[in-house]
Structure 1
């Protein structure tokens, strides 16, 4: 991992909340939303600037206002010389550290003339196929959405009564699409064997977080007919080893790890421990996806479709061709 670039002039911190409307409504087992609210951190040293974006998540006790204020509280520390290395100890893993960590990476890239991907050892960067997410809805509505999407890899939001019917209808409507499922902690140990059997019958390749985090011990005592992936159960390296025997894969999200620095370290440790890697995202703009693409270069499953679900993205933005997402241009990030 490259050391941070020494600061020729301590950057000034600017923080703002940005709203992005969603195409229609985005629904998971925990609720629905019609807009993506993100917090943006910008570091500017008078010559170069770096940006990062995060999505505060109520499931982890975060709020937009709380994350914005936490980032803002570091303004004097940054002006006094706090850098990316110091940030790892200054803030815990979470959305606030993510926005600042990615802003530091971007600033370091601009100052050094070397891309963040080069500095992280993630070159050459390749275009990747991302999953495309279908919101939780009725079986008929999800089947129609699957057929209309016509994507090579579909991610299905499940976790409610009627999931076997949804799976069967979607598979019928999209016979050639690969399928992964995100239950968002919506199942329980009693129904889990039935749900996994339905997934296997539909040809699902991976299921994210079928049981609530903290109540997933049952996963160690039942067969895994398909890959079971930890999402809410894993944030950073601290809890990774304890997941062996329960999960086969982990979903790495920068808003959970607290930025690209820890995400890269988590991916390396997960590989060492034998976990498959998925790289995912919250519902956010291209600025949030760009650093995650570095981690995704060595992942088995990529789920970085956030901008595809928005009615309006940033400009400049990532370039998508259907489900293919291309590496970011420096004008966006890195």
Structure 2
């Protein structure tokens, strides 16, 4: 018999985190615990208001499905029992960990995948004034960051990226507009970012309103984030994106994320793995996807005032296992 519990936990941030849609000083995650006999496993998700989620709505979903889980709902059946999203992610990851624990294995052994020593991850530069973002870039690279992810809105796009490039001449730069560039001259913008040696542009236009990407030249690969939630979305994105960003909270867990990597390859799309703000508990679950990705953005814990235990180690631009 499985016992399932869950709770919402507020995690204060060490510093404000700003994107084009707003600024946060804390993040609320939901943690699910599954206990079977002597074994206990935990999964974490981050409900996202942009996807019509809240901690309350996620806890409501979990409460409704609790009887099925405690009666032995399988991970395979879970994929149909809950829609893609945060609630399924937390449960799916807890189920993976519980299966591994019961077999005396870790997640890597259960998946029959080699465990890497470390993975290079982006360090995110929060949206801010130009001078502050350039200073943050200089601090990040001085601390060993190799890949910087720049949060942008519609203001001073090229000026900010140029200042960051000057502050971090050797770093790999990717930019994330979070759907903010509607109505801008994408052709000129993409060319200017190419000349600044930007390696990737993430979600420049709103999901569902990204047809202009078909008509624009892409000297820099463009990555779908808000436009791509689960494997069924991938085929329809091939005419406008070169990459997809797989996030466990969007797609509903590691099971779907692993399936998405296969479908993306079938359609010739490159892979990024990303995250919401959250603890090492959430990031660790995404690492089996990260080792198959071209770009990795799993820096959520470095924004927290205090991480969960056991915490992953972030050092020299890498997450160490």
TM over 0.5: yes
| Contact 2:179 2:206 survives alignment (8 Å) | yes
Task: Render the CA deviation track for 1:233-252: whole Å, top value 9, x for unaligned.
Answer: 00111111000110000000
The answer on 1:239 being equivalent to 2:233 is: yes
The answer on 1:47 being equivalent to 2:38 is: yes
Name the Cα RMSD after superposition. Answer: 1.1
Could you tell me which of 303, 309, 315 is aligned with 1:309? 303
| Contact 2:122 2:297 survives alignment (8 Å) | yes
| Pairwise CA distance, 1:192 | 1.8
Could you tell me which of 10, 13, 32 is aligned with 1:22? 13
Distance, in Å, in 2 between the alignment partners of 1:140 and 1:193 is 26
- Partner residue in 1 for 2:124: 133
- Partner residue in 2 for 1:166: 160
- Partner residue in 2 for 1:71: 62
- Partner residue in 1 for 2:2: 11
- Partner residue in 2 for 1:219: 213
SS at match of 2:135: helix
Distance, in Å, in 2 between the alignment partners of 1:194 and 1:65 is 43
The answer on 1:203 being equivalent to 2:186 is: no
133-142 or 74-83, which moves further after superposition? 74-83
Distance, in Å, in 2 between the alignment partners of 1:125 and 1:171 is 30
SS at match of 1:73: helix
Could you tell me which of 100, 103, 120 is aligned with 2:91? 100
| Contact 2:161 2:196 survives alignment (8 Å) | yes
- Partner residue in 2 for 1:263: 257
- Partner residue in 2 for 1:321: 315
Distance, in Å, in 1 between the alignment partners of 2:270 and 2:183 is 23
* Stretches of structure 1 lacking an aligned partner (at least 5 in a row): 1-9, 328-334
* Stretches of structure 2 lacking an aligned partner (at least 5 in a row): none
| Contact 2:275 2:283 survives alignment (8 Å) | yes
- Partner residue in 2 for 1:332: none
| Pairwise CA distance, 1:85 | 1.2
Distance, in Å, in 1 between the alignment partners of 2:41 and 2:189 is 44
| Contact 2:180 2:206 survives alignment (8 Å) | yes
Distance, in Å, in 2 between the alignment partners of 1:266 and 1:122 is 17
| Contact 1:189 1:218 survives alignment (8 Å) | no
Task: Render the CA deviation track for 1:292-317: whole Å, top value 9, x for unaligned.
Answer: 00101111001100011111101211
| Pairwise CA distance, 1:189 | 4.5
SS at match of 2:285: helix
Task: Render the CA deviation track for 1:304-331: whole Å, top value 9, x for unaligned.
Answer: 000111111012111222311123xxxx
Distance, in Å, in 1 between the alignment partners of 2:92 and 2:70 is 15
- Partner residue in 2 for 1:282: 276
The answer on 1:37 being equivalent to 2:31 is: no
Distance, in Å, in 2 between the alignment partners of 1:113 and 1:36 is 33
Distance, in Å, in 1 between the alignment partners of 2:13 and 2:245 is 23
Could you tell me which of 248, 259, 278 is aligned with 1:254? 248
**Number of aligned positions between the proteins:** 318
SS at match of 1:74: helix
| Pairwise CA distance, 1:120 | 2.0
TM-score (norm 2): 0.96
SS at match of 2:245: strand
| Pairwise CA distance, 1:69 | 1.6
| Contact 2:19 2:178 survives alignment (8 Å) | yes
Distance, in Å, in 2 between the alignment partners of 1:179 and 1:256 is 24
The answer on 1:61 being equivalent to 2:61 is: no
Query: Runs of at least 4 residues of structure 1 off by over 4 A?
Result: none
| Contact 1:39 1:68 survives alignment (8 Å) | yes
| Contact 1:15 1:42 survives alignment (8 Å) | yes
